[in-house]
């Protein structure tokens, strides 16, 4: 690896889904902005994820393996943030894809004066009636922005800290981070370009047991074959029979996440007379995906492993 720091550090947390990594990583390697490093942080992986990443054979791609699974992407993401050398941080879900102009578009917005930039997301959902797009015109505290669509100045993390443990929160850790960044005075801006294809795992029961990759493979090939894919997807949706209010901005971006959280909390409340504990919603999402909750004792072990691993890789 060269000694010069890259412009952008990309953090990708992953857990036991090796088959999908060639597509997500492949979409990074196709970026028109090539001055980046990609930190793939395995959250206690027991499959061949490390070997798959090593086989990529690109010095910009680095594997960091944690000894214990932490239960959420917050811990491995924080390890990646600690190891990151770039002045701009971007995130990519291990099962999501970027269009080739993603990094260039967000970095251009940051160079133009914003601190945290995010783009339009095409959501690929099992139910065709689910909202296909996420694009939030003006951020307001508490609203969700998909991490795969975000890039921000490193100063955001330096000032407000990293991702918090979901077991201490009543919202998603990423929403908590955006809230703290906004409260600290950092400027947010939508980049009005579709640059992300997201496959919401929470809508796919037992996805981590089956671990398919056919959807990512199909969209990855489309990205390679269709240079104007982002524009064409928007035009296709605009010409469909979707009601206008389902097409764009605040209602579209916030509805899914608010409704998902509301349904989970309602389900947990029905299971117990007490108010659901912090983190219970994320644990329920883990159950839907086919993953078991991770107790705090195991989390502590994972964090200790993360700290040791980070010390070795810096």
Please state, in angstroms and as integers, the Cα–Cα distance from residue 195 to each residue in 104, 107, 257, 279, following that order: 10, 13, 20, 30
Nearest partner of 278 among 185, 175, 168, judged by Cα: 168
Residue 300 near residue 165 (C-beta atoms within 8 A): no
Q: Which two tokens stand for residue 281?
A: 């919603």
What is the rounded average pLDDT of the residues 284-306?
59
Q: Which two tokens stand for residue 17?
A: 């889904």
Nearest partner of 10 among 98, 119, 115, 136, judged by Cα: 98
Residue 88 CB-density burial (10 A; 0-12 exposed, 13-18 middle, 19+ buried): buried
Q: Which two tokens stand for residue 210?
A: 């089956």
pLDDT at 2: 53
Q: Are strands 133-134 and 97-98 parallel, antiparallel or unpaired?
A: unpaired
Confidence of residue 91 (pLDDT cuts 50, 70, 90): very high
Give the residue carrying structure tokens 């070795």.
Answer: 312
Report pLDDT digits (tens) over 185-214.
999 999 999 999 999 998 899 988 989 999
What average pLDDT does the structure give for the chain?
84
Distance CA 17, CA 172 (A): 22
Report pLDDT digits (tens) over 3-24.
699 999 999 999 999 999 999 9
Report pLDDT digits (tens) over 96-150.
999 999 999 999 999 999 999 999 999 999 987 777 888 888 999 988 899 999 9
pLDDT at 131: 78
Distance CA 234, CA 121 (A): 10
For domain 8-313, the CATH architecture is Alpha-Beta Complex (3.90)
**C-alpha Rg value of the chain to the nearest Å:** 18
């Amino acid at each position: 690896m060269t000694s010069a720091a890259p412009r952008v550090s990309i953090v990708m947390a992953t857990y036991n889904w090796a088959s999908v990594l060639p597509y997500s990583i492949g979409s990074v390697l196709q970026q028109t902005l090539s001055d980046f490093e990609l930190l793939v942080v395995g959250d206690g992986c027991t499959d061949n994820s490390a070997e798959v990443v090593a086989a990529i054979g690109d010095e910009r791609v680095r594997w960091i393996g944690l000894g214990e699974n932490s239960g959420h992407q917050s811990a491995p993401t924080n390890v990646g943030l600690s190891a990151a050398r770039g002045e701009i941080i971007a995130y990519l879900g291990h099962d999501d894809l970027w269009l080739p102009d993603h990094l260039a578009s967000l970095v251009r917005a940051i160079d133009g004066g914003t601190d945290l930039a995010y783009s339009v997301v095409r959501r690929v959902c099992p139910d065709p009636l689910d909202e296909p797009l996420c694009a939030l015109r003006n951020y307001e505290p508490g609203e969700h922005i998909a991490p795969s669509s975000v890039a921000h100045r490193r100063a955001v993390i330096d000032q407000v800290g990293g991702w918090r443990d979901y077991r201490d929160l009543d919202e998603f850790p990423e929403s908590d981070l955006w809230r703290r960044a906004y409260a600290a005075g950092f400027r947010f801006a939508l980049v009005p370009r579709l640059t992300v294809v997201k496959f919401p795992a929470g809508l796919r029961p037992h996805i981590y047991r089956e671990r398919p990759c056919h959807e990512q493979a199909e969209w990855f090939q489309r990205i390679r074959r269709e240079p104007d894919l982002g524009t064409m997807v928007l035009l296709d949706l605009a010409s469909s029979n979707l009601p206008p209010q389902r097409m764009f901005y605040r209602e579209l971006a916030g509805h899914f996440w608010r409704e998902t959280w509301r349904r989970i909390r309602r389900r947990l409340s029905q299971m117990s007379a007490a108010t659901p504990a912090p983190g219970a919603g994320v644990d329920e999402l883990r159950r839907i995906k086919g993953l078991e909750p991770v107790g705090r004792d195991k989390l502590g072990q994972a964090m200790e492993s993360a700290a040791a691993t980070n010390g070795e890789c810096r």
